A and B are shown apart, each in its own frame.
Chain A
Amino acid sequence: MRRAGNGSGPGPAGVGGLAGVPGLVANVQHFSLHDGPGIRTTVFLKGCPLRCRWCANPETQSFRPEPGFDRGRCLGLKKCGECLRACPEGAVSAGADDRPDLDRKKCVRCAFFACRNKCPTGAWKVFGDLMTAGEVLEITLGETVFHQRSGGGLTLSGGEPLAQPEFSRAVLALAGQAGLRTAAETCGCADFGTLGMVAGGLDFLYYDLKSLDRARHFELTGGDNAPIVGNLLKLRASLPGLRLTVRTPVIPGLNSDEGPAFGSFMRELPGVGYEPLRYHRLGGGKYRLLGREYGMGDAKLGPETWREFLEGFRRTYGGDGRLPDGFPAAAAAGSSGEKNSPPVRH
């Protein structure tokens, strides 16, 4: 098994076998500066119930491991061709430009991923590795000197952490035992029991809300926003101590006119932070790796549209014109002088 971290030993022996709980992990991001306060280790879980058109992490959507191919890193079939010989299903064939082609229908996503394992250059990758909660923690604790000094810690992201609740809960419980601060990023699309269980182990939570218009939300994400909004309100009521920030990716032409709507909505949620995220196109390349089409064409978020969204929000939210901050307590508690400006998610 291939892992982002190190070590071949078992993870820390957790209470009740928590360390052995398996999960499917797309990636572990080290020295992560933009997924919560301080310097963090961010674990991207695999699998998401939504299918947002602009998704910047398409490799985390599917609940199964899937291969990706980076043409630029390939040596070419004449010089190498290992993948061609390795695939037990014959899903890899000779394609154009001396490069292999993958027939994704034939690819059974075999457990051993011969294409990736034999590839000398890393042109073939597999998104989705089975890891135990203990292994995730071991990697994270290896970087803990940075978390401690920065007020950082572990962030669960995805994909959707709530879609692997047992694993998420195990990782958070182990992190709690180790004294790590924890955060998660969620789309809120789960039954409330699951959300409550995972959120109970968190220091703070980013809660993504893409549109307040039910029909539009369905159109843009493939999911219903009623349970998402409902969960948010319930969560607020049941875990009032949890630090919470609602985030909205502002997508040109899709939800960029909803600034006032979000302002009114957030007005009813005092003490909850709000952070609009500027649409960016950095995920575009990953669609190519996965052999998929990027659904956003060449859409760009102009500075004018962005400003309108912010102004609309402020107009209905009221107050002193500043965006509500999700980390007032963090700023007060942070011994390292941590600032409470909102992180920028790239």
Chain B
Amino acid sequence: MDRTVLSPQETRLDIINSGGPDPFLAGRARVSALVKNTAGQKPVIDVERALWFTRSMRETEGRPLPLRWALALYNVAKNMTVRLAEGQLLLGRVGPPGRHCILYPELDGDFLDLAVGTLPDRPNSPADISPEDARLVIDEIAPYWRGRTYHEALSLALPEDVRRLTYADPAGLVSRFVVNETSSFRSSIQWVHDYECVLKLGFRGLSEIAAARLAGLDPLDPVQQTERRPFYEAVLTAAEAVRLWAGRHADLAAETASRESDPVRRAELLEMAAIARKVPWEPAGTFREAVQSQWFTQLFSRLEQKTGTIISNGRMDQYLYPYYARDKELGLADEDGALELLECVWAGLSEFVDLYVSPAGGAFNEGYAHWEAVTVGGQKSDGSDATNELSHLFLRSKREFPLHYPDLAARVHSRSPASFLRDVAETIKDGSGFPKLINDEEVVPLLVGKGATFAEALDYAVSGCTEARMPNRDTFTSGGSYINFAAALEMALRDGRMVKYGDARLGEATGDPRGFKTYDDLWEAYQKQHVCLLRAAFVQQAVVNKLRARHFAQPMGSLLHDLALKHGRDLHQEHIPEGLDFGYVEFIGYATVADSLAALKKKVFEEGVLGMAEVMEALDHNFSGYEKVRAILGSAPCYGNNDPYADSIAKKLDRVSVEFSAKYAGSLGVNLDIRYVPFTSHVPFGRAVSATPNGRGAWLPLSDGASASQGADKKGPAAVLLSNFNSKNMDLSARAARMINIKLTPGCLEGDEGTEKLVSFIRAFVDLKLWHVQFNVINQQTLLAAQKNPDKYRDLIVRIAGYSAYFTDLSADLQNDLIARSSHGSV
């Protein structure tokens, strides 16, 4: 394939690599200076949050957890070094200059002392730490948490049969990569706060509501006095902490201004100080105040807890719009000024890295994964189209400013205006993977079907990778299980064992596959293993749900949530009245399993060209010397080609899972919907699975999300979408996102005509009621060149799994996986 048509991203890299000036940074002096050093920089760990948090927790043992948490946050707000970045228009940061990350010892403090030794050099998402900070971790922080972390409690609480599918070691530090728990990676799954209530009421207004609730408690009611009272005291303390922290930033800005010789910068600093004295405590009045208020809130949320791969930004084009429109009307704001301010937010986002300390967490979230999703477009609560000027401005910023922050998500629906979709398509064509698309026509009915009102469902915000969050209705915060169903397949072929784990039987005894006489025998064995892993995941979740409230609290997050505030319960409590609990179970290796079953069905049990013994021998030898067997298996129908043979098997796999959830999630009192969102876990999961009958070699990545197996989709991107449609069980509702990656060459989207065809493709995606789709628009040669000369391609951004990352930050395995995905473009 000729590399004759380049995406804008490729053009830009070519210019820079031949010594030219970066064309995208022209006219953006401020933000380019801010982001200059983030690309390719190894992040530095800052221990302050962990230190002040731990010191307070040590002093408050025995008191109610939400209150302890609030006091710890207050201690952090009071003592943490406040800093401001040269040239930044926004105040608030949680670490030193450049890329940085903070620690959450409440999650992993028990092995943090060991981890600080290995983090700088580990292959996935490494991070540096100074010797002094490392000493603090080893001598003070880790010793306190040992025996107190959630992760240790979980490891002890899991029943043995589930535990051995979860961990490979007695301490629970090494993942088995079969039924992975992720609730210990972070204290909350991806989340969106109701930022709008902060902008409108300020923390002062919210505190008044909390204070009124506190005053309204029955002084004689023992439960109210021991549970509700400390909760309200906690949220009030958290609000004071935010106020204190913002105020310290205001002081710093004013003090810096007094030393600043440049009058322009001095004026800026004084204005920043004035704004930070007002928000987020008081309601925002101007666009600038609104942006600053939101920024303080989301940053403090990061100090409060580790939200799965960074707290999301919600429907920014909606809640900021009234302020933008008003300022524009008054002549206080214009497009360029707004753009600069927003890009200061993006620059701030790009400096913060969400560190996964555990090796499994790091491997699941390669390339410093981040999903601080900014949602644009979609519908308003009344069902009308929500697109406005800011929606277009966010897209423009994404095209003009080469940064993979923020993660941009566009909500699309059947009446999305052509102008918006054209803008979306032009942005996708830029080639760095933005925006990803989330489909209202699938999401809204599912939310309503599970108990939301239409008004709530229509106002959902994209959260993180592919989730849809209703900020005042969602109340389930636990990370879910990731199931390696390729492992179930391997167990079905090996009597419950896996090559990687030797003689230990991890699954069910389903017999020697050489004895299978029909496809039904194989399917029955597979289904037993499949259900065995599903059962383990649900048991995990049952244990997790009981444990979390004893280990986690989020007083600030609870203050921003209508139901938590109304009922006086921290969001991490197991159930909150009126709340909707949406949990997930991830199906990993979908196409790998579907294609493997299709290959065996066709070639062994129908055509009889291969015997099971021959197949097993080939798998045992990882196809080495058995190329012909591999080729025969590989010639069977594959999922992703709009072929009913493979798609019907995929549909059955989905059905077994969704039916299991429909039957057993209810007994947990929550939704546990089946999802196909791997992040990057299909790579480490693949490392646990030997050769599979679809011709995939041992230890290589599994198929990703609901996409076709690498290179198996031969009939173009339309067929990939159709296979997804074909394999969904529309009659059942225990389903959520399917993540679909489509790689296109820039050549096939060339010109206005290419844009229009991409728009049509998106419209068809909406019609098919698929949840999510995202695109990489790139030439294969560019990826290969970047792998060869990483230094020249430090800026190259690619879409991974609901987020985009620097290509050169990824492991070789994941780079190869991206290169192996079929690229559609040749005609």
Taking Cβ atoms with an 8 Å cutoff, the residues of A that contact B are 4, 6-7, 29-35, 38-39, 75, 79-80, 120-122, 142-143, 145-146, 148-152, 336-339, 341, 343-344, 346
Contact = CB atoms under 8 A, between A and B. Distances in A.
A254 B752 CA distance: 32
B757 A120 contact: no
18 contacts: A6-B645, A30-B642, A31-B716, A31-B824, A80-B627, A80-B631, A149-B764, A149-B767, A150-B756, A150-B760, A152-B760, A336-B756, A337-B759, A339-B753, A341-B751, A344-B750, A346-B826, A346-B827
B756 A120 contact: no
Interface stretch (B108-116, B208-216, B717-725): B717-725
Interface in B619-642: 627-628, 631-632, 634-635, 642
Best-surrounded residue of B643, B756, B761, B826 (most CB of chain A within 10 A): B756
Contacts of B148: none
Given A38-B760, A150-B757, A150-B761, A30 B716 contact: yes
Nearest to A336: B760
Contacts of A29: 827
A131 to B, nearest CB: 16
B715 A30 contact: yes
A73 to B, nearest CB: 9
B761 A146 contact: yes
A38 B763 CA distance: 12
Given A122-B635, A143-B722, A339 B752 contact: yes
Determine chain A's interface SS by DSSP, over half rule. Answer: loop
Nearest to A4: B715
Contacts, number: 98
B635 A121 contact: yes
A6 B631 contact: no
Contact of B763 (A6, A35, A336): A336
List 7 tightest A-B contacts by C-beta distance, closest first.
A31-B716, A150-B760, A120-B631, A149-B763, A120-B632, A121-B631, A31-B718
Contacts of A341: 751-753
B790 interface: no
Contacts of A339: 752-753, 756
A338 B824 CA distance: 22
A6 B824 contact: no
A137 B91 CA distance: 62
Interface string B427-450: 000000000000000000000000
A30 B718 CA distance: 8
B719 A31 contact: yes
Nearest to B754: A33
A75 B628 contact: yes
Given A336-B763, A341-B752, A146 B718 contact: yes
Interface residues of B, number: 36
B748 interface: yes
Contact of B715 (A7, A31, A75, A338): A31
Interface in B633-659: 634-635, 642-645
B768 interface: yes
Contacts of A121: 631, 634-635
B418 interface: yes
A121 B645 CA distance: 19
A38 B757 contact: yes
A79 B767 CA distance: 47
Interface string B74-91: 000000000000000000
A39 B753 CA distance: 11
Contacts of A336: 418, 756, 759-760, 763
A32 B716 CA distance: 9
Given A75-B627, A337-B759, A7 B764 contact: no
Contact of B644 (A6, A34, A39): A6
Interface string B243-279: 0000000000000000000000000000000000000
Given A6-B643, A30-B718, A346-B826, A39 B757 contact: yes
Contacts of B767: 145, 148-149
Nearest to B760: A150
A142 B757 CA distance: 19
B628 A80 contact: yes
A32 B827 CA distance: 7
A142 B634 CA distance: 24
Nearest to B630: A120
A92 B750 CA distance: 44
B628 A79 contact: yes
B425 to A, nearest CB: 11
Nearest to A342: B753
Interface string B757-796: 1011101100110000000000000000000000000000
Contacts of A7: 644
Contacts of B642: 6, 30, 142-143
Interface in B597-623: none
Given A30-B719, A121-B635, A149 B826 contact: no
Given A30-B716, A34-B827, A343 B760 contact: no
B756 A338 contact: yes
Contacts of A6: 642-645
A341 B757 CA distance: 12
Nearest to A81: B628
B638 to A, nearest CB: 12
Contact of A39 (B422, B722, B760): B760
B454 to A, nearest CB: 26
A288 to B, nearest CB: 17
A120 B635 contact: yes
A69 to B, nearest CB: 15
Contacts of B634: 120-121
A150 B764 contact: yes
Contacts of B632: 120
Contacts of B763: 149-150, 336
A79 B627 contact: yes
B325 to A, nearest CB: 27
A7 B634 CA distance: 20
Contacts of A80: 627-628, 631
Nearest to B719: A30
Contacts of B759: 336-337
B489 to A, nearest CB: 22
A346 B4 CA distance: 12
A121 B631 CA distance: 5
Contacts of B750: 344
Contacts of B645: 6
Given A39-B757, A39-B764, 16 more contacts: A30-B718, A35-B827, A75-B631, A79-B627, A80-B631, A120-B628, A121-B631, A142-B642, A143-B642, A149-B760, A150-B763, A336-B756, A337-B422, A341-B751, A343-B753, A346-B826
A39 B627 contact: no
Contacts of A75: 627-628, 631
Given A79-B628, A150-B764, A151-B760, A31 B753 contact: no
A341 B753 CA distance: 7
A116 to B, nearest CB: 11
A51 to B, nearest CB: 23
